Amino acid sequence: MRKQELIIKKAMQEIEKMLHDLSKEGKDLSLLKLKKYQKTHHIDCVCPKCDKANKKNNPSLRGLREFGFKVFVDEHDEEVTDY
């Protein structure tokens, strides 16, 4: 469990740093929104996870390539940062 706590602590530090940077850039953080995202392997991938996902017809089981969150700070802004 200690390793998990360390990971969470480091992630929180990175999020705090990003928010400070956005604030320094003059962004209004009162409308801040975070959106989770996941990028999976390509549809033609044949790794075991993707093969299982194809057999079960469930794309959520595909192998993950990347995950993180996108930050929006204004209703009219495009995404500000990809993390």
Tell me the pLDDT tens digit for each residue of 15-71: 899 889 888 988 888 888 888 888 888 888 889 999 999 999 998 888 888 878 777
User: What does the DSSP assignment read for the chain?
Assistant: -HHHHHHHHHHHHHHHHHHHHHHHTT--GGG-EEEEEEEEPPTT--SHHHHHHHHHT-GGGSPEEEEEEEEE-STT----EE-
pTM exceeds 0.75, yes or no: no
The per-residue pLDDT for 39 is 85
Domain boundary assignment for the chain: 2-82
